[in-house]
Chains A and B, each alone.
Chain A
Amino acid sequence: MTEPILSVEGLSVDYVVGAGTFRALRDVSFEMLPGQVVGFVGETGCGKSTLAHSIPRLLPEPPAEVRAGKVLFQGVDLLEVPKWRMPYVRGTGIGMIFQEPINSLNPAFRIYTQIAEAVRVRRLRETGRAPSFHPDIEPFDYSKPAPVRTGDAMAHAFLPTVPESMKNAPPELTSVAKAALRAEVLDYLRLVRINDPETILNLYPHELSGGMRQRIMIATALSAKPSLLIADEPTSALDVTIQAQVLTLMKELMDEVQTSILFISHDLGVIAEIADHVGVMYAGHLVEFGPVGDVFERPRHPYTKALLRSIPSRYQDDGPLPTLAGSVPNLSHLPDGCAFAPRCPIAKELCLVEPGPALATPYANPPQRVNSSACYFPLEAEGLP
């Protein structure tokens, strides 16, 4: 029985702002195994980005407040880890790719510098010269100053004290080491299928196209060898042919790199393309979770059903598109019962009073055979047109 790499238990996050408390995440639980791709879909404001940001604790606090829950990453509850230690988890532990690559790349540095930084931090961590969360490495003794002999800004920026050894640090990289670093950066560029990587290395982010930048982001994230990669809408800003290239690349990389991917998208097509397991979110609740084939073919929650039905897939002479009546509830005034009940075609008395049931088996461990749904009447939902 494989240990899950990530298990989120009962996570609830609120945004407290002047206008009130917005319940962005409510009691979200799921697990993912090493090597799995877990996708999350939902409409704008359903909490999928909040979920993605709350795992590596990148939520702005305030206004965000984690109310309850656990985020167990390789057995460690990240919500218990002191904030100043979180940078050691990010990068080699949890890598992230965001929607707009241009916002994640530093416009003032060449592509080489940005990838090399990630590679160097990883190497420092692997050799025990910088604190790390990596499971293969001995736990780092945080009580002592780090024995870092390098001038690596990234590794030092988060240390509580500046160690003696850092002052008058000798020039760190020999020409041999520099060549090795460069070769490794080139390898990562080739990994993401960039033609002519020698030229690309010396360019600045603005000189590249959107698809190219996103591939640089993927290379940067992968070069830190994260155990978990969180991809928040990584292809939404790209054109459809470029999106197809990036998705194909990510699928191929799954075989070459040992990484689990948590993939967020609003596009059901993209999720169907890449994910093994899929979670459907609505108004901060995880309403359905299961293997991608089951969820798409036999959805057991009326919202999943409605979402799938509303994808325009017909011609005009085939009749009007099926739509979902009503609109997404305001997260500051969620209904008492199931959040979807006011729009649900099969809502009963019970649904308006009681919140939806917890997902029966929101776990991939043991590998789950069927999808579980936060609906009291999953079989009825399955029978909906």
Chain B
Amino acid sequence: MMTEPPLLETRDLVKHFPLNRSVAEMFRGAAPRAIHAVDGVSVSVRPRETLGLIGESGSGKTTLGWLVSRLYPPTSGRILFEGQDITDLRGRALRTWHRNAQMVFQDPLGSLDPRLRVWELVGEPMRSQEGLGRNALRDRVAELLPTVGLPPECVDQYPHEFSGGGRQRLSLARALSVHPKLIVLDEPTSALDVAVQAQILNRLVSLQREQSLAYLLITHNVAAVRYASHRVAVMYLGEIVEVGPVRDVLEHPVHPYTKALLAAVPVPNPQRRRARYRITGEIPTLVTPPPGCRFAPRCPFVIERCRVEPPPLREAPGRPGRRVSCHRAEEVGDIPAETLMASLPVARASGPPKAPLAPAPS
């Protein structure tokens, strides 16, 4: 698997959403401003592999999913699918390509037209790609539904008749209908209860094995990524800060943001109530991202260099297959999140510590 060429590759992918300039700004001749949703992302997804993409809201992970599905035009950068540049595909070529990559959207009800019956909904990609007629479509959908764990009899129902898990299964069936090579899953389980979530995750994994699918799994749910992914990429403010094999990244996070994110996940074990490795402050704005490392304003290990020079995504020291964008990766890499907490001051009423706090490199 390691030697195979990637199924999907992005090279310095950038997406800026321009902001409207106010009249005053136009008169002042201010430079047009934009939301830097995705800023120079290079990732790859190998065949039959799941790449998990985790990050908080506003980190650009959904935008990245839309970009690689060619639902947004990128501002710059290239998208390669099986070695071919698909960045500039248009019209018929784009539509034909779409059978290779399908998407499951976050909101299962919002992405299913309430006035269409199941066979129309699920069959839509097949109708578009293969031009199937009404009866053929119904039969194909009825065959398809059991693969996602729904009874074939429900082809004539409407989406509102399904539970949250059922709707997510419908979205999944629709994506599977044209036998894609890649499915972009945007928060497939975030609207679901924990028991249903486990069912959907199991189904996703078994489908991947049966149909040789690759997934780009976009979620803020670390537990879902842990189970369903082979590799994981952590996004923060439009950039990838860390990427590597899932077990390695989740058990030995190197980037301070990854450490903080993982430490913030509540663990259902009352014995492990911990003083947290907490990051103070809120996510900065994407309109004027900080000049250096984007995590610098919240990072407990920040040094002067971090504030001026953006760290490149480079090989993590001593960890094969792992890349991380941190100037101090060597020093902070081995510090486990738990031992840090004691040395970190608690944000009190007086606000976060003013002085940059850097535990001495050992």
Contacts and interface: CB of A to CB of B under 8 A. Distances in A.
Interface of A: 43-44, 190-191, 193, 195-196, 209, 211-212, 239-245, 247-248, 266-273, 292-293, 296-297, 306-308, 310-316, 320-324, 327
Nearest to A295: B270
Nearest to A326: B195
Contacts of A190: 349
B226 A323 contact: no
Interface stretch (B78-86, B101-109, B168-176, B197-205): B197-205
B264 A310 contact: no
B226 A43 contact: no
A242 B283 CA distance: 9
Contacts of A191: 349
Interface of B: 56-57, 163-165, 193-199, 201-202, 205-206, 220, 222-224, 226-230, 246-247, 260-261, 263-273, 276, 278-280, 282-283, 347-349, 351-352
A190 B266 CA distance: 25
A268 B197 contact: no
B57 A43 contact: no
A320 B194 contact: no
A316 B230 contact: yes
Which of A240, A271, A311, A314 counts the most B-chain CB atoms under 10 A from its CB?
A: A240
A282 B220 CA distance: 26
B351 A272 contact: no
Given A245-B278, A327-B163, A292 B228 contact: no
B305 to A, nearest CB: 24
A272 B347 CA distance: 23
Nearest to B279: A241
B266 A272 contact: yes
A211 B282 contact: yes
Nearest to B54: A240
A269 B227 contact: no
For the residues of A in contact with B, the DSSP-based class is: helix
Contacts of B266: 243-244, 247, 267, 269-270, 272-273
Which of A269, A270, A296 counts the most B-chain CB atoms under 10 A from its CB?
A: A269
B169 to A, nearest CB: 12
Contacts of A242: 56, 282
Nearest to A42: B193
B349 A193 contact: yes
Given A248-B276, A267-B266, A307 B220 contact: no
B242 to A, nearest CB: 15
A83 B170 CA distance: 45
Contacts of B57: 239
Given A268-B268, A293-B271, A312 B246 contact: no
A266 B267 CA distance: 13
A310 B270 contact: no
Contacts of B271: 293, 297
A313 B223 contact: yes
The 5 closest A-B pairs by CB, nearest first: A269-B266, A244-B264, A239-B56, A43-B193, A268-B268
Given A244-B276, A248-B276, A306 B267 contact: no
A307 B263 CA distance: 23
B248 to A, nearest CB: 11
A314 B226 contact: yes
A44 B164 contact: yes
Contacts of B230: 316
22 contacts: A193-B348, A196-B351, A209-B283, A212-B282, A239-B283, A240-B56, A241-B260, A242-B56, A244-B276, A269-B268, A272-B268, A292-B270, A306-B195, A310-B197, A310-B198, A312-B224, A313-B223, A315-B227, A316-B205, A316-B230, A320-B206, A327-B165
Contacts of B279: 241
A174 B134 CA distance: 76
Given A315-B246, A323-B202, A272 B194 contact: no
Given A195-B351, A293-B270, A296-B268, 9 more contacts: A193-B348, A240-B222, A240-B261, A244-B278, A266-B194, A272-B273, A312-B223, A321-B227, A322-B198
A269 B195 contact: no
A368 B273 CA distance: 21
B273 A269 contact: no
Contacts of B348: 193
B56 A323 contact: no
Contacts of A320: 202, 205-206
Contact of B202 (A193, A269, A307, A321): A321
Which of B198, B223, B264, B270 counts the most A-chain CB atoms under 10 A from its CB?
A: B270
A273 B194 contact: no
B137 to A, nearest CB: 28
A308 B198 CA distance: 11
Contacts of A195: 351-352
Which of A212, A247, A310 counts the most B-chain CB atoms under 10 A from its CB?
A: A310
Nearest to A275: B270
Contacts of A296: 268-270
A315 B283 CA distance: 29
B270 to A, nearest CB: 5
A320 B207 CA distance: 13
Contacts of B223: 311-313
A297 B268 CA distance: 10
B282 A310 contact: no
Contacts of A321: 198, 201-202, 227
A193 B280 CA distance: 10
A323 B276 contact: no
